Amino acid sequence: MTETPSPHVIDADTLSGGLKPIRQLILSLGSNLGDREANLQGAVDALRDTPDVVVVEVSPVYETQPVGGPEESGPYLNIVLLADTTLNVDLLLERAQAIEQAFGRERSVPGAPRTLDVDLITYGQKTIETEELTIPHPRAHERAFVLAPWLDIERDAVLPGHGPVSELLAKVGTDGVTKLDIELQ
């Protein structure tokens, strides 16, 4: 695994072996099959129930047109979560995939319709590249369905390696991205 930590953050795990650093993370959640709103709310609840994860903020819900995938794919509901965690990134990925699976996520064709998609966008200021995971998410900078809700909950957000989220969103535009009057708990 290649990890490039922020030069300004001390990783307490390496100092004492017992303390765990708190990392702020951004998660993007989407659903375009079944009861989309219930799927998203269930995922938020499952993340809140996860030990060592504190959900700090949940964005408003957006309806977005699918990016890639089969033509018959219906629109997605998307949200972004801001959370704090002491979980290591491998456990966090495992939890995200377990939540997807609990909601009937089937991994078949890339971009295929899904009951639930949970993507790790950032994990602190770390850069991580493994076979299973790349952080920051490799396509987040070009996805309005990530950038628009993220900007709602963090006006000065910066995507590591890419720049301010507001500038990235201005570059990709918001065609096909509609903010709904739905707030999840």
CATH of the domain at 29: 3.30.70.560
Q: What is the pLDDT of residues 102-137, one digit of tens each?
A: 988 877 666 678 889 999 999 999 999 999 899 999
Per the domain annotation, does 185 fall within a domain?
no
Q: Is the pLDDT of residue 171 over 50?
A: yes
Tally of domains within the chain: 1
Which range among 59-68, 69-78, 102-111, 136-145 has the greatest average pLDDT? 136-145
Per the domain annotation, does 15 fall within a domain?
no
Parent domain of 59: 2-9+20-179
pLDDT band at 14 (very low <50, low <70, confident <90, very high): low
Q: Are 40 and 58 in contact (CB under 8 A)?
A: no
Per the domain annotation, does 54 fall within a domain?
yes
- Residue 110: the pLDDT is 65
Per the domain annotation, does 74 fall within a domain?
yes
Q: What is the pLDDT of residues 134-154, one digit of tens each?
A: 999 999 999 999 999 999 999
* Sign of the torsion angle spanned by Cα atoms 64, 68, 74, 78: negative
Residues 6+ apart with CB under 8 A from 129: 1, 2
> What is the overall mean pLDDT for the chain?
89
Cα–Cα distance between 45 and 62 in angstroms, integer?
A: 18
Per the domain annotation, does 184 fall within a domain?
no
- Helix (H) or strand (E) holding 128, with range, is strand 127-129
Per the domain annotation, does 107 fall within a domain?
yes
